[in-house]
Structures are given as C-alpha cells and as structure tokens.
C-alpha cells in the first residue's frame, strides 16, 4: 500500500512559474539490455484533477498530479485529453528522473464552477524475467552520477545507521568467499523475507522494521534497499498502484549498468518480477518544488488563494483504470 500519497488542499498564495516541456518517454538510466521481457499487458488509465469552487470564488489554483512515464519495461502514450476552460494551462515536468508530474494552472474559479484536467494514458507494461546467467553481473565500480544518488539514505531508508551497516556486514561475512554479486544481493533479499514478517500498519521505515521484525511492502522494500546501499550497491523503490517493490543495480563485464527488480513482499521473485501494474514512480528521495522536505513518494498537490469572503477549492484527484474494450 502506498502511504503518504493522500490528497491535500492548502490555501496559500500561488506563484505561477514557467513549466517544463512535456516528456512522456523518459528512459531508465540503464539501457535495458541486461533484463529480459515476458508477457505484456495494455491498459488505459485516466489521471488528473477535478476542482470545484465551493462557497465562493477561488483564484490562483495550481495542481500537480503524478502521471505514468516510460521505462524499459513500460511504454506510455496519451490517447485522450479532457481539458477546457477555466483551465489555462497543462504542462509536464520530470522530478529527479523518477516521477513525471502533470501541472494544471487555473487563474480563477467562480462560485460553483468546476474545472477538470483529465488525461487518458495507454500504458503497455511488460513483465521482467530474471537473467539467464546471473553470474555475468558484478558489483558496480564506477556508477553514473544519476545512479550514485541511490547509494544515499532516503526518508525511512536509514542506510547509514550503524545497526543497518553492521547487519549488512554480518550477512555478507556469512557468504562463501566465491559468492558473486548476485548471491550477495540475494542474501540481503532472503534475510529480509526470513526476518521481517508481513504485517500492515503505519509507515515506520527500514530501521523500525528491523527492530520490530514486522512491516508491510514499504518496510520490507526499505530494509532491503538500506542493506544494499550500506554495501555500496545502488537500490531504489518502484511504486505501482497500491504496492511497491525494490530494484538493485549491477554491472556487466563491459561496465554497463542494469536494474533488476525483486518482490520484497509477496510471492518470491528475485531478479525478475511478474508485475504488470503500471509504474507510477521510481525512487524514494524526491525534491518537490512545492515541498520543503524531500519526499519518499510524490503525492498529488493543490494550492491557491480564496477571494476575501470567498470559497474553498474542493478537489478530486483522479487515477482510475478504464474498462477494456469488449
């Protein structure tokens, strides 16, 4: 379950800024050559925002909504747009190479007036198969800059904590001397699944899950990522509807980097994953212009200003799977 993605409506002064050119095919840092693809699934998702001025007029409204974008295992295209007055502008921007946002600007809404900006995306998602020969991959020596950021601590991923670092060393010390990079990462994976029982609850992060011995998909994912990062292995969170899972980064003999997924919570799947839900975001340490603190997951957001004695914006953020054509 994705927590921290709840809708919020803040009445503050809005500053309109220049927006980025749409980028609907942002690629992964890896070229995808190290992973194999299985079956695919095509779905249409409607994403956007509906805002109504309640109790009086509103002005200076600005909404941001995460939308699907392209990855090696996912292709995205826009098939329909439902946008009209009083929406002034719809644009897109990419944050930290991991999440694309739709930005909706509405100068003013009269009392009782409704603005809608809904975009239908066709998402083709392919399952990932584990590599035929995992022994071909090794620990990264010189990872690119855009991968190095996945070695640092993130919100709720306390990879620099002594308890996490000590545990990572202990797990690796128990591995045979001949163990390769794949076996080392898999040892972290097996440890997390064996020592952290799946249990729904409030978000508490990697360290708390280790101490409590329980957590849900976010905690199991966070602890696996923390152990990897503590051992200088890049890893990150992948977010899909109502779920998340980790990816880890290794290099082949030519020094090319590849991201491999695993299922921290649920049926065992390491190096490949039979996941066909659309990818919403990749990463867990985003700098969002509208937020002071770095974000683990980029949520929907709305801000604006009410006229004196005016109303408040009532917002509905939309992310819905459309029925398949008969």
Do you know the residue count of the chain? 326
CB 209 within 8 A of CB 201: no
CB 50 within 8 A of CB 301: no
Q: Helices 181-195 and 217-230 sit at what angle, rounded to 10 degrees?
A: 140
The secondary structure of 264-324, three-state, reads CCCCCCECCECCCCCCCEECCCECCCCCCCCECCCCCEEEEEECCCCCEEEEEEEEEECCC
At 142 the pLDDT is 84
Q: Would the CA dihedral through 210, 211, 213, 217 be positive or negative?
A: negative
Domains of the chain with bracketed CATH: 9-127+289-321 (no CATH), 131-271 (3.10.620.30)
Cβ burial 166-182 (10 Å sphere, 16+ → b, else e): ebbeebbeeeeeeebbb
At 48 the pLDDT is 98
Two structure tokens written together for 118: 């809904």
At 29 the pLDDT is 37
DSSP letter at 22 equals: P
CB 225 within 8 A of CB 236: yes
Phi, psi of 132 (to 5 degrees): -65, -35
Distance CA(69)–CA(283), nearest Å, equals: 13
At 309 the pLDDT is 65
Burial of 57 (0-12, 13-18, 19+ CB in 10 A): middle
For 210, the enclosing helix (H) or strand (E) is helix 205-212
Q: What is the DSSP string of 226-258?
A: HHHHHTT--EEEEEETTEEEEEEEEE-TTS-EE
At 236 the pLDDT is 98
DSSP, collapsed to helix, strand or coil, labels residue 52 as strand
For 83, the enclosing helix (H) or strand (E) is strand 74-83
Q: What is the pTM of this model?
A: 0.88
- Using alpha carbons, select from 277, 213, 191, 291 the residue that is nearest to residue 242: 277
Distance CA(162)–CA(139), nearest Å, equals: 22
At 134 the pLDDT is 94
Please list, in sequence order, all residues whose beta carbon lies within 8 angstroms of the beta carbon of residue 191, skipping any fewer than 6 positions away.
167, 171, 227
CB 64 within 8 A of CB 301: yes
CA dihedral (147, 153, 158, 161) in degrees, to 10, reads: 110
- For the chain, helix (H) and strand (E) counts, in that order, are 5, 15
Burial of 283 (0-12, 13-18, 19+ CB in 10 A): buried
Residue-wise pLDDT tens digits, 172-214: 999 988 889 999 999 999 999 999 999 999 999 999 999 999 9
Q: Which residues of the chain have pLDDT under 50?
A: 1-32
Distance CA(198)–CA(211), nearest Å, equals: 14
């Amino acid at each position: 379950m994705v927590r921290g993605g709840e809708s919020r409506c803040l009445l503050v002064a809005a500053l309109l800024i220049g927006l980025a050119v749409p980028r609907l095919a942002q690629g992964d840092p890896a070229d995808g050559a190290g992973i194999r693809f299985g079956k695919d699934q095509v779905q249409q998702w409607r994403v956007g925002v509906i805002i109504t001025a309640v109790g009086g007029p509103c002005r200076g409204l600005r909404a941001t909504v995460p939308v699907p974008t392209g990855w090696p295992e996912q292709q995205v295209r826009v098939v329909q747009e439902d946008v009209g007055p009083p929406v002034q502008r719809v644009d897109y921007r990419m944050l930290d190479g991991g999440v694309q946002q739709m930005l909706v600007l509405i100068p003013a809404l009269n009392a009782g007036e409704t603005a809608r900006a809904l975009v239908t995306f066709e998402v083709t998602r392919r399952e990932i198969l584990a590599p035929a020969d995992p022994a071909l991959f090794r620990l990264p020596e010189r990872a690119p800059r855009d991968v190095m950021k996945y070695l640092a601590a993130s919100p709720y991923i306390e990879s620099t904590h002594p308890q996490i670092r000590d545990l990572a060393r202990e797990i690796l010390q128990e591995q045979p001397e001949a163990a390769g990079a794949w076996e080392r990462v898999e040892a972290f994976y097996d440890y997390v699944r064996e020592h952290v029982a799946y249990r729904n609850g409030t978000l508490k992060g990697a360290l708390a899950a280790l101490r409590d011995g329980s957590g849900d998909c976010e905690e199991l994912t966070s602890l696996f990522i923390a152990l990897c990062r503590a051992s200088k292995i890049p890893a990150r969170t992948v977010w899909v509807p109502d779920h998340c899972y980790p990816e880890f980064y290794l290099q082949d003999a030519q020094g090319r980097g590849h991201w491999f997924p695993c299922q921290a919570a649920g049926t065992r799947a390491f190096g490949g994953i039979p996941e066909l839900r659309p990818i919403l975001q990749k990463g867990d340490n985003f700098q969002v212009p509208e937020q002071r603190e770095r974000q683990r997951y980029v949520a929907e957001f709305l801000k604006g200003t009410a006229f004196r004695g005016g109303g408040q914006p009532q917002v509905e953020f939309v992310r819905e799977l459309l029925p398949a054509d008969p």
